[in-house]
Amino acid sequence: MSEPRANGSHAVDIGHTSGPAPRQQDAGTAPGLGVRLTYGFGTDRGLRRELNEDSFLAVEPIFAVADGMGGHEAGEVASSVVVRTLEASGIAGAPMSKLTAADLEDIIQQADQRIRSEAGGQAGTTLTGVVLVEESGAPAWLFFNVGDSRAYRSSSGTFGQISVDHSEVQELVDLGSITEDEARTHHRRHVVTRALGTGDDADPDFWLMPVEDRDRILLCSDGLSGEVTDEDIHTILDTVRDPQEACDALIAAALRSGARDNVTVIVVDASDPDVSDPAGDVQRPGAAAGGRFTADGDRWPVSEA
């Protein structure tokens, strides 16, 4: 089993930011809409790839996974540019805002143009993620996606994929030409129909959904979803309570299945900070710095005190 190159775990109430954090921490209630986020993250190059071309950003209120494509040096440039562009936008570390899909699309298009400029159209990346925003005075999830990295949501006893894969095999599934099981082993399963930095279509999809208490969000590259079934993913998310431990378990499951690709996972839990923890844990004041991993060399935490 290869060793994960980056992982960590944090908890924060939106509106509160501070300096560097230990591996696991809690944060006190902050002014605003009162949503408490607890999250974990991790990435592993897998068992067959020489390089990890995945990048991620996990700094409240934004969480994103980018899976670089294009081979040695190129893919890691593309995914890293996306993460840096998202971080530089001012969303990361800011209080929950009234960010719209149009605002986020502008930022994503900036990343697309920067990748094309730096890599000359020879590299691309998927991008999937979520931002906690204010919508009509209430907290909401603003999901975004380009490519075949995925966003899942477990909420009120239901579990399912939020994003829609932009891939050739997904189009074949939609046409009824192949089944979901056949798509997992299809020889064209890695061919995406949308990507940032390359090709003719880099338009993101968006979904806006109200936040529910005890929501659990999973963001992942296809190194997880291509190796572990949705049923097994759901089982881990449903049985492993701590988000960092859930990330670790998901990556371990992909490694056990062969890990033919890089594997990157973010798990985000949302809860009401005024409601006691079901296990009776006391919520202690603290701070969270969040995490960033860029494939070309940057690591987490994002900032120093």
Greater pLDDT, 16 or 225: 225
Query: In this predicted model, what pLDDT tens digit does every residue of 169-190 receive, in sequence order?
Result: 655 655 666 666 655 665 566 6
**Contact in structure between 100 and 79 (CB atoms under 8 Å):** no
Tokens of residue 62, six digits: 């934004």
Measured CA to CA, the distance from residue 20 to residue 287 in angstroms comes to 8
Helices (H) and strands (E) in the chain, counts: 7, 13
Strands laid side by side in the 6-13 sheet: 6-13, 36-44, 263-271, 216-220, 150-155, 158-161
Query: In this predicted model, what pLDDT tens digit does every residue of 248-269 receive, in sequence order?
Result: 999 999 999 999 899 999 999 9
pLDDT at 121: 80
Contacts of 175 (CB under 8 A, 6+ apart): none
**Contact in structure between 178 and 161 (CB atoms under 8 Å):** no
pLDDT at 119: 84
Q: Which amino acid is at 284?
A: R
In DSSP terms, which residues pair with 259 in a beta bridge? none
Tokens of residue 50, six digits: 């020489």
SS3 248: helix
Greater pLDDT, 14 or 173: 173
Measured CA to CA, the distance from residue 224 to residue 239 in angstroms comes to 18
153 pLDDT above the threshold of 90: yes
Contacts of 22 (CB under 8 A, 6+ apart): none
- At residue 205, what are phi and psi to the nearest 5 degrees? -95, 155
